[in-house]
Amino acid sequence: MDIKNKIQKHIDTIIIGSGAGGLSAAICLSKAGQRVMVLEQHDVPGGWCHSFYLNGHRFSPGVHYIGLLGEGESTRALYEGLGIANNLVFFRMNPKGYEHCFIGKERIDLPGNFNDLNTSLGKRFPKEKKRIHHYLKLVRNVSRQIQLIPKMSGFWDNITIPFRTKHMGKYALFSLKRVINWHIKDPLLQKVLNIQWGDHGLAPARASFPLHCAVMDHYFSGGYYPMGGGAAIVKAMTNALQKNGGTIRTSTAVKSIILEGDKKRKAIGVELENGEKIYASRIISNADPGITYLNLVKEQNLSAKLLKKLKKTKYSCSSLMLFLSVAMDVRKLGMDSGNIWMMDNRDMDGIYEEMNAVDIAIGDVFPGLFISCTTLKDPTSFDGKHHSLEVITYINPDSFHKFNNENKERSKEYLEFKEILTNKMINTLERALPGIRDHIVHKELGTPITNKHYLNATNGSVYGTEKSFGQIGPFAFRAKSEIENLYMCGASIQSHGVAGASYSGVQTAAVILNCKQHDLIKPDELQNIRIFEAEDDSAYTADIKQKINLRKARLIANEKKSMKIQ
C-alpha cells in the first residue's frame, strides 16, 4: 500500500453521496471526533438539495418547502442541534395559503396554522365542520405518536408504547383513502385533504395513512423556504462539517465498495471511477438501496435474503420538472408565495394512474401539476423583473426507457421528445396561469434521465424507494446493513423529504455511535434560525433589504451594459 493510501486508512467514515442524509450523518460523526470524508459524484454537493443556475436564475429541484420550523418544533431542533441554525434564514410562505388547491374550477387555500386550517375548511364545508375537526385531530395525533417512537428508551417507555401510540396502531395498516372515506363525506373535501399525496408520490388508495399524517402534520404550522434556496442548507451543512475537521470531495464518483474476508462480508473502503482506492473503518451510503447493493457492493456479495428483498423493491415515481424564467409580474395572475397543487376534479387514484401511463406524449395537457415560484418565496432572489418557476408532474420512468443509455451528448430523438413534453407542460400551466406562455424568457425540462445523471437515482425516482406499506417503517431498509461496517441513510431508510432524509442521517450516526438520536441533536441556546415573512417586508432587517436591492441593481447594471454593447 502506498503512502497516500496509508494516510487514507486513518479515515473513520467515508460517506458516499452528499444529500441531506449523508451531510447530517457527517456532521454528527465529525462532532463526535471522527475523521469523515464525503464523496460526491456531482460537481456540487447536496443531492436533491443542491441549487443550480439557468440564464442567471437560481433553481432548487428538490427543495420547495420545509415545515416544523417554529419554536420547539422538530426541524428547527434538528438545525439547531446540528449547529447550522445561525447560518440559515427562512421566509414563511403565505400564512393564509401556503398551499393552494386548484381542483378543476374550485380554488381552496390551506392556511399555515392548524386552527386556521380547521376554521377555514369548516367555513368552506359547513356540513363537514365536526368531521373536519375530528379528522385533523386524528392526523395530528397519529403523526405525533410516530415522532415519539425514536425517543422511547428504557423499560417504562417500552411498556407504555401501546398506550402512547394507540391512534397510530389503530390505523397503521389502513390506506389514506380508506380512512379519509370513513371520516369525510364531501367528495371535494376528500380531494383537498388528499392533495398532498404528491409529497410522497403515492395515490390515496395505496398510500399509508400514518405516512400521510406525517406529511400533513409537517406543514400544520405552515411552509417555509430557505433564503438562497436548497443550496443555502447545503452550504451551512458543509461549513459545519469542515469546521469539525471533515472533508468533502465533489466530482468524485465511487465505482465500488471494497470488501475483505473469506466471504467478502466486511467493508474496508471504496474504489473510485478513476481507480483510486480510499480506505476507512466504515462506509455510509447515502445512495438508494439499488445503487448501494447492486452497483457498489455487487450481487455476488449479497445474501439470498437481501437479494430477494432487492428484487421485490419498488422505487417511487419519477418526474418531469420544468424550470421557467418569466419576464412578468406573476402576482397579476394570482400567484403568491404559496405552492399550487392543480388537479382535475375527478378521482385522484385515476389521476395517479393516468400520470403513470407509459405513453406520456398522448394528449395536450397533464392531469396534475405542482407549481412553485421561488422568487416569491425568497424575495432576495427576485431581480425586479424576472420570476423563477418550478413546475412538476409525476410520471412513470418507463416512459423514458428507450433513452436509458443516453450519454452526455443527448440524441435528437430525446431532445424532440423533451420539446413535446415541454409544450404539454406549458399547456397545462396555462390553465392555472393564463397567458404566461407569452412571457417565458428561458425554459428547461428535467426528466428521469436528468435525475439519473445528476442524482444517481434508480429509475430517476424522486423519493427513493416507493413509500408503500411493505417498504416503510419496520419493512424499510435498515441503517445497519448485512455487510459489516457498511451503513445506509437517506430517503429510502427512515423517511423522505428534506427533514426526513436529514433525520435519517442523524439516526444512522446514532447507530454507529451507539447512542440515541436526541443525544446528537441537543438544544443549543446559541443557535437561532431567523425567519421572515415572504408576503410582508416590514420587518426585514438591513442585510435582507440590502440583498434585495443588490439583486435589482445587478439587473439594471447588466441591462445598461447590454445596451452599450449593442
**Is 52 domain-assigned?**
yes
85 and 234 co-located in one domain? yes
- The residue type found at 90 is F
Q: How far apart are CA 370 and CA 180, in angstroms?
A: 22
387 and 338 co-located in one domain? yes
332 and 427 co-located in one domain? yes
Grid cell listed for 287: 445512495
CATH of the domain at 51: 3.50.50.60
Task: Check residue 148 and give its pLDDT.
Answer: 58
**Is 562 domain-assigned?**
no
136 and 185 co-located in one domain? yes
**Is 242 domain-assigned?**
yes
Q: How far apart are CA 262 and CA 265, in angstroms?
A: 8
Q: Which of 219, 239, 267 is the last residue of a domain?
A: 219
Q: Determine how many CB atoms are found less than 10 A away from the CB of residue 45.
A: 23
Q: Which of 219, 240, 261 is the last residue of a domain?
A: 219
Grid cell listed for 373: 415560484
Q: Please give the full DSSP string across 57-97, using - where no structure is assigned.
A: EEE-TT-S-B---STT-HHHHHHHHHT-GGG-EEEE--TT-
**Is 546 domain-assigned?**
no
Task: Check residue 484 and give its pLDDT.
Answer: 95
Question: Residue 54's beta-bridge partner residues?
Answer: 57
**Is 385 domain-assigned?**
yes
27 and 56 co-located in one domain? yes
Computed over every residue of the chain, the mean pLDDT equals 92
Q: Which of 189, 219, 249 is the last residue of a domain?
A: 219
For helices 114-124 and 129-148, angle between their N-to-C axes, nearest 10 degrees = 150
Ranges of residues in the chain with a pLDDT under 70 are 1-9, 147-169, 563-566
Q: How far apart are CA 337 and CA 378, in angstroms?
A: 8
Grid cell listed for 257: 465498495
395 and 430 co-located in one domain? yes
171 and 250 co-located in one domain? no
Task: Check residue 264 and give its pLDDT.
Answer: 73
Task: Check residue 542 and give its pLDDT.
Answer: 97
Q: How many domains does the chain have?
A: 3
Task: Check residue 163 and give its pLDDT.
Answer: 44
Task: Check residue 225 and give its pLDDT.
Answer: 98
Among residues 308, 413, 421, the alpha carbon closest in space to that of 359 is found at 421
450 and 473 co-located in one domain? no
Question: Residue 371's beta-bridge partner residues?
Answer: 340, 391
Domain residue limits at 410: 321-461
- Are 503 and 27 within 8 A, CB to CB? no
Percent with pLDDT over 70 in the chain: 93
Among residues 62, 21, 5, the alpha carbon closest in space to that of 285 is found at 21
328 and 457 co-located in one domain? yes
**Is 401 domain-assigned?**
yes
65 and 140 co-located in one domain? no
**Is 528 domain-assigned?**
no
Q: Which residues of 410-425 are buried (b: 16+ CB within 10 A; e: fewer)?
A: eeeeeeebbeebbebb
Q: Does the pTM of the predicted model rise above 0.85?
A: yes
Task: Check residue 168 and give its pLDDT.
Answer: 58
334 and 434 co-located in one domain? yes
**Is 558 domain-assigned?**
no
- The residue type found at 334 is G
| Residue linked to cell 386548484 | 102
345 and 396 co-located in one domain? yes
Q: What is the pLDDT of residues 361-390, one digit of tens each?
A: 999 999 999 999 999 999 999 999 999 999
